[in-house]
Structure 1
Amino acid sequence: MPRHARGFDVAEAADWLARRDRRLAGWMRRLGPLEADPRWHRSFDPVDALARAILFQQLSGKAAATIVGRVEVAIGSQRLHADTLGRCDDATLRACGVSGNKLAALRDLSLRASQGGIPSARRMAWMDDQAIIEALVPVRGIGRWTVEMLLIFRLGRPDVLPVDDLGIRKGVQRVDGQTTPPTARALVERGARWAPYRSWASLYLWRVADAAGEGGPTPRSS
């Protein structure tokens, strides 16, 4: 299994997409060039990223950030991990604003991490996208979308297409001038031409949706 680099040549990706999809190319010119995500080159702890993803779920960014800040104070660390989360009992975390379901998810994540069930960032470099998804979705509260956001925004994988993301589907709807968003199956077929740079296409499609007031992703692994 080859080692996967974090990040890719975004100019090459943009050129590929522009040549492969005339309709998307028009929007790319309209929106202008995108920059590579600086997080691709920063070290990160997958357990911490997943814990934050859990805490951010179904909340506004401001409300979630407040809860995360309280948790960091309670555990005495800015690193959310099995050992640090284990410093607080359930009642203390609940007092920080952590819901019962999220608390159960954090405990499950912590248990799996302590048992070596969560691959490190170093280990992920040798895993393909699907292997990472399969390793992480068994964690309570972690779905495929959350892992796809980690793949795109933290690992810089070039060919991820979150077909269940409404923002991307709305973006495709506008690019293609359709009255309804494509189904997930139709999006798989529509997006085949973007490979091997479907992540970069996704970033543009979120921005197309933003331009239409439809909203884009809210990555929870920052």
Structure 2
Amino acid sequence: MRPSEIKQQICAAQPGLDVLLSALPTVPLMRPKHTKVIEAVPQIVVSQMLSRHAAATIIERAQALATDHGEESIAWLTEQQLRRCGISGRKAKSISLFAEQYHDDPEHYEGWKHLSHDELRSAVGRHWGMSDWTASMLSIFHFGHADVFPQGDGTIRRVTEHLTSHGVRIRPEKSTPYRSYLALYLWLLADSGSLG
């Protein structure tokens, strides 16, 4: 299906959303990225509970430090180095523990890209400090899964609550098999400033 047809289908499935989405650019087709899991996971962990701008600044700082130390990924920095970049102690621990496990079996972790979203949620959930949200971000932004709705995402919650208060009730299940696109449009809506 073409991106414009997916957008039309979402509008048809979510009454009242069509007017708001008509002012937004059409989300392109999702594609898996070629980023290694060891690069993707730390960036997702850093991004949790932060604005995109704050997360990008911290990630950029950590990547510069990793490059200075000859490392491909911020995952290979020590917890202390991660903390110096502005990463909280809890997130630094989560990244370091994941890096240790990845180091022991990189093929297993790179195989995550072949899992279904439910399998990925289960696999990710076995790691300290990682949650369904982490799995959802991996699924959507790195593995290109088209049918994932990150119910627990703070921005998604705020947007859906705002829309509900204005008579637009979001029902993610009605946008199956394109729930990831619904989420992407809701994030775009939040970024657009049109919600007031």
TM-score, normalised with respect to structure 1: 0.70
Given candidates 124, 139, 155, the residue that maps to 1:167 is 155
- Asked if 2 retains the 8 angstrom alpha-carbon contact of 1:17 and 1:201, the reply is yes
* RMSD of aligned Cα (Å): 3.1
In structure 2, what is the equivalent of residue 18 of structure 1?
A: 11
Tell me whether 1:102 sits opposite 2:91 in the alignment: yes
In the TM superposition, what is the alpha-carbon distance from 1:199 to its structure 2 partner? 0.7
- Mark the CA change 1:19 to 1:44 in structure 2 (over 3 Å): closer, same or farther: same
Range with bigger deviation, 41-50 or 90-99: 90-99
Tell me whether 1:43 sits opposite 2:31 in the alignment: no
Where structure 2 has 5 or more consecutive residues not aligned to the other structure, the ranges are none
Between the two proteins, the alignment pairs up a number of residues equal to: 192
In structure 2, what is the equivalent of residue 70 of structure 1?
A: 65
In the TM superposition, what is the alpha-carbon distance from 1:102 to its structure 2 partner? 3.3
- Mark the CA change 1:77 to 1:119 in structure 2 (over 3 Å): closer, same or farther: same
Equivalents in 2 of 1:128, 1:41: separation in Å? 13
Identity of aligned residues (%): 21
- Cα shift readout 1:95-124 (whole Å, capped 9, x = no counterpart): 555554333222310222133387444x33
In structure 2, what is the equivalent of residue 156 of structure 1?
A: 144
TM-score, normalised with respect to structure 2: 0.78
In structure 2, what is the equivalent of residue 113 of structure 1?
A: 102
In structure 2, what is the equivalent of residue 200 of structure 1?
A: 181
Range with bigger deviation, 196-205 or 166-175: 166-175
Where structure 1 has 5 or more consecutive residues not aligned to the other structure, the ranges are 1-7, 216-222
- Mark the CA change 1:119 to 1:214 in structure 2 (over 3 Å): closer, same or farther: farther
